[in-house]
Amino acid sequence: MRLTKAVAAWGTPEFREVLKAEIEHLGIAELPLQQALCSGHRALDSDLQAMINAVDESDGVIVVRVGLFYSGMDGGSCCADDPSPIDPHPEYCELQFSIDPASGDAVASLLNG
């Protein structure tokens, strides 16, 4: 994934807000949300909320710890009389983003889960 807006804002007071907005526009295809599920079977690709927990620079790489709030749900058996709830439920995970400040290339690693 590329976080080009965030690296453009690196070193400015706006960095955290720009990074937060850019992460919130990523989808489940780019983030390990499915692997982080605690109580559901499927991560949903809506209402992603990011919380920037820590920002550091190490060996020329921007390292950011992010808390992500998102929704998951149980799939059920798809039968007409299936009692499984279909309402989304809240999920949370923490990721570490390693970002190349030159290119914006980023890797997200699951810290809990």
Q: Phi then psi for 22, rounded to 5 degrees?
A: -70, -40
Nearest to 70 by CA among 108, 104, 32: 32
Q: Phi then psi for 41, rounded to 5 degrees?
A: -115, -15
Residues 60-79 have pLDDT tens digits of 999 999 999 887 777 655 56
CA–CA gap between residue 48 and residue 24 (Å, rounded): 5
More confident of the two residues 11 and 27: 11
Under the banding of pLDDT at 50, 70 and 90, the label for residue 87 is: confident
Q: What is the mean pLDDT of residues 17-42?
A: 82
Please, are residues 98 and 3 in contact by the beta-carbon 8 Å criterion? no
Which pTM was predicted?
A: 0.84
Structure tokens at 53: 């927990």
- Residue ranges per structural domain of the chain: 4-110
H/E stretch holding 56 reads strand 49-58
Give me the residues paired with residue 54 across strands: 65
pLDDT at 53: 97
Burial letters 87-103, b for 16+ CB under 10 A, else e: ebeebebbbebebeeee
